[in-house]
Amino acid sequence: MIRNAALRDAQARIGAHTPLTGDCGLHCAAACCAADPDDQNGMLLFPGEKSRYTPDDASWMKLVPSGRYFQGRQVALLVCGGTCPRQRRPLACRIFPLGVKAERDSFSLRMDPRGTGLCPLIGSGLSGLCTGFIDAVTEAAAILWQNDRHREYLIWLSQLADEHAAAFAPLRAGLHGISRKDKIHD
């Protein structure tokens, strides 16, 4: 059960919508779900999302400190083993490969820059995704945007993605690709 109403409503709005009509993981061997042998990479949890997880989830995931701080508190990172009960996956997984580009007073959707080099859908942009998925994520983000704490978190997350994109731009220019799952979500 999700006690945070905005989080619950945002998740419900996305529902069963996925980036493509079929299973996009068939195009990439589910690259964004690949397990990290070091257990250091995973999905940053939204405010209030951590409490959703209980010891019953220990069979497929663990929560670790991310080393990143939002409003003075360390954000939890969900690290999975590469599979999950679908209904238990965090919001970050439900939104990807979309990301929110947030300014102080507005937001828009973009392809998550952290997916470049990993997700084959990034190159085709929003036009390559199901409109139902885009609409659902847009409305989910709008729900979160109405909530002060979630709005600040989206702005923080957007800045994090921008920093990531800037840091990896030289690599993308020709030296290396990005192939690790963690580079998507964190």
> Which residues here bind ligand SF4, judged by CB under 6 A?
19, 24-25, 27-28, 30-33, 80, 82-84, 89, 93, 96-97, 118-121
162: nearest Cα among 125, 120, 112, 126: 112
Least spacing, CB of residue 113 vs ligand SF4, in Å = 13
The DSSP annotation for 77-130 comes to EEEE-S---GGG--HHHHHTTEEEEE-SS-EEEEE-GGGTTT-TTTTT-GGGS-
Nearer to ligand SF4, 26 or 72 (CB): 26
Least spacing, CB of residue 63 vs ligand SF4, in Å = 12
Least spacing, CB of residue 148 vs ligand SF4, in Å = 27
Least spacing, CB of residue 125 vs ligand SF4, in Å = 13
Nearer to ligand SF4, 77 or 118 (CB): 118
Least spacing, CB of residue 104 vs ligand SF4, in Å = 29
The residues with which 15 forms a beta bridge, in sequence order, are: none
Q: How far is the C-alpha of 76 from the C-alpha of 43, rounded, in Å? A: 8
Nearer to ligand SF4, 84 or 126 (CB): 84
Nearer to ligand SF4, 93 or 155 (CB): 93
Nearer to ligand SF4, 116 or 151 (CB): 116
Q: What is the DSSP letter of 179?
A: -
Q: How far is the C-alpha of 148 from the C-alpha of 107, rounded, in Å? A: 14
Residue listed under structure tokens 């959707």: 109
